[in-house]
């Protein structure tokens, strides 16, 4: 009997099964065409250097199942899904992007060989608080004049919670709607609207009926929940130890670090047990 639900496309394992399949790259190329400003002919040849689903194994740390690809002209693209905000997420994205650049050339190779390197970060939370756009594109440019220094580095953020309820007429909205959909009715509606998304919905239905695919998706969800639970427990323990056992000077030192990191006073009060007056005195 087929399952009464559909797997979630934003489960990173399911996403990679749909968009990281080297034998069926149509979903990937159509999604990329909706998000990036790359000539269509560049997608005539797309190479996936990492076709294996579980390349990092099942360690204690939740490995990142991203989709990496190289276009016909050599452009490098990395697609990653993040369901929970992490304090160092932006720094990690910059590090990975820089690593993708440095890995392109060896000692003595000319810098002109460096190809355009693009990251697409899909989040199930609001990452960019400065605006309401669900798609933001970042490159190196002058903050005053807006002139671009180079397009070799690019970060695209796609934020699912910002997706408007009604379509804006773009194919990117259709693909974002596919990723955000929860019910069969939503998937069917999107499939009727966009023939390319319809193919992805069909692939999702096939995966949902595959027992092994469901097991992999469930395992990824369980591992993520377990890690989040352990992290919450560690934070709660740290708060309690900070309140009950921390000596005054140790709590002051911890408060200084939190202040230096820009944490709000109310949060520092909760973590350290110090009064507002004592924390404010550390500012002087």
Which residue ranges make up each domain of the chain?
Answer: 12-224, 246-284
CA-to-CA dists, residue 226 to 103, 112, 215, 230, angstroms: 33, 45, 16, 6
86 vs 174, more confident: 174
Please determine, for residue 119, whether its predicted confidence score (pLDDT) is greater than 90: yes
Q: Is residue 1 exposed (0-12), middle (13-18) or buried (19+ Cβ within 10 Å)?
A: exposed
Q: What pLDDT score does 63 carry? A: 53
Q: What is the value of pTM for the model shown?
A: 0.75
Neighbours of 66 (CB within 10 A): 19
Given pLDDT bands bounded at 50, 70 and 90, which one contains residue 21?
confident
Backbone angles phi, psi at 134, to 5 degrees: -85, -15
Q: What pLDDT score does 226 carry? A: 64
Please determine, for residue 214, whether its predicted confidence score (pLDDT) is greater than 90: no
Q: What pLDDT score does 187 carry? A: 94
Given pLDDT bands bounded at 50, 70 and 90, which one contains residue 60?
very low
């Amino acid at each position: 009997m087929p399952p009464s639900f559909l797997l979630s496309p934003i489960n990173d394992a399911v996403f990679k099964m749909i968009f990281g399949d080297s034998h069926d790259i149509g979903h990937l190329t159509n999604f990329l065409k909706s998000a990036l400003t790359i000539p269509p002919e560049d997608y005539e040849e797309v190479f996936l250097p990492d076709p294996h689903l579980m390349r990092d194994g099942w360690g204690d740390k939740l490995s990142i199942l991203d989709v990496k690809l190289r276009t016909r002209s050599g452009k490098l693209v990395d697609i990653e899904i993040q369901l929970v905000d992490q304090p160092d997420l932006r720094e990690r994205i910059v590090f990975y992007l820089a690593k993708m650049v440095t890995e392109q050339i060896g000692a003595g190779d000319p810098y002109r060989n460096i190809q355009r390197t693009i990251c697409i970060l899909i989040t199930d939370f609001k990452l960019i608080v400065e605006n309401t756009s669900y798609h933001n594109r970042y490159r190196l440019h002058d903050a005053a004049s807006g002139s671009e220094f180079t397009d070799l580095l690019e970060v695209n953020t796609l934020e699912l919670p910002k997706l408007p309820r009604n379509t804006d007429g773009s194919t990117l909205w259709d693909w974002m709607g596919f990723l955000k959909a929860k019910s069969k009715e939503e998937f069917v509606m999107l499939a009727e609207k966009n023939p390319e998304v319809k193919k992805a919905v069909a692939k999702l239905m096939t995966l949902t009926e595959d027992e092994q695919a469901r097991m992999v998706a469930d395992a990824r969800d369980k591992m993520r929940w377990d890690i989040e639970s352990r992290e919450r427990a560690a934070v709660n323990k740290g708060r309690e130890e900070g309140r009950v056992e921390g000596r005054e000077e140790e709590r002051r030192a911890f408060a200084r670090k939190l202040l230096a990191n820009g944490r709000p006073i109310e949060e520092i009060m909760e973590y350290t047990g110090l009064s507002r007056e004592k924390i404010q005195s550390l500012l002087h």
